Structure 1
Amino acid sequence: MQIEGLDHLVLTVRDLDRTVAFYTDVLGMRREVGPTGRVSLHFGRQKINLHLAAHEFQPCAADPTPGSADLCLLVGSSVAAVCRELAGKDVPVVDGPVQRTGAAGPLLSVYIRDPDGNLIELSHYQHHVPGLIDRPISR
């Protein structure tokens, strides 16, 4: 078996509306509702499915807990631009900008929290990553 990528992940949340507002208004994701009523957040070619705590779709994680995730999301703009945008939306930065190492090399990252307390790392590769983004990364 060879894993080729990540299609989606699931977040268990306390308040669907509050979570959707954060991910759409702050992070620019797109909300969709599937035929079963399941709410998801779409970005690029990936999505985040949302489970309401104590009402998870089955099967689910053994111990679905709001606020237990730590996600790294790649951004196409510089971390400085991301920080300005976050400040404009009154979203506090938990840490950063800091250097980190991603799957394809060095990153510059800034950390925030979503409404459930999940840690969201917003990262920008310090070099062009072929196949990741069609254009060179801005600094």
Structure 2
Amino acid sequence: MTDEQTAEGDGRPPGIRITGVDHLVLTVADVERTVDFYRRALGMRPVTFGDGRRALAFGPSKINLHRAGREIRPHAARPVPGSADLCLVTDVSQDRVRAHLDACGVPVEQGPVPRTGALAPVTSTYLRDPDGNLIEVSTYDQAR
């Protein structure tokens, strides 16, 4: 069986198979304010690429940043700051997540609370970035 075929009875039609996320795009009011927040509060690595575009790298992925009103084409149909809801995974305890956010002066909206992750149960803490995007920081439970 090739990658383009599926195992009989697995419920997926033959065709492409998505294996991960390379990048996401956030439309933001202030790129540098966003870079500072994600670097300081969430440990992401600022990246400059192309003709001065900015991104936030983490693990094997990144978040590209578009300034509201100056989006790079093609872009979302309605690119609006504050409309995202992202779940990010960490390998540190939720106690450490909470302590770090408190030390950075980042208000916690909810958590730690149990949730259902893509691979297994998680414990999550919710916060908002400077544009009001909801950011969930999750740790997979140990029984994974």
TM over 0.5: yes
Q: 1:117 aligns with which of 119, 132, 142?
A: 132
Corresponding residue for residue 136 of structure 1 = none
Query: CA separation of 1:48/1:128 partners in 2, compared to 1, >3 Å: closer, same or farther?
Result: farther
What's the C-alpha RMSD, in Å, of the aligned pairs?
Answer: 0.9
Letter of the 1:125 counterpart: Y
Letter of the 2:101 counterpart: L
Letter of the 1:71 counterpart: L
- Which structure 1 residue ranges, 5 or more long, are not aligned? 130-139
Based on CA coordinates, which of the two structures has the bigger radius of gyration?
A: 2
What is the CA deviation profile of residues 58-99 of structure 1, one whole-angstrom value per residue up to 9, with x for unaligned ones? 000000000000000001100011101111111110001110
Q: 1:75 aligns with which of 87, 90, 97?
A: 90
Distance 1:128 1:38 in 2: 40
Q: 2:105 aligns with which of 72, 78, 90?
A: 90
List 4+ stretches of structure 1 deviating above 4 A.
none
The aligned length equals 129
- Alignment TM-score, normalising by the size of structure 1: 0.90
Corresponding residue for residue 4 of structure 1 = 19
- Alignment TM-score, normalising by the size of structure 2: 0.87
Distance 1:27 1:66 in 2: 19
Identity %: 54
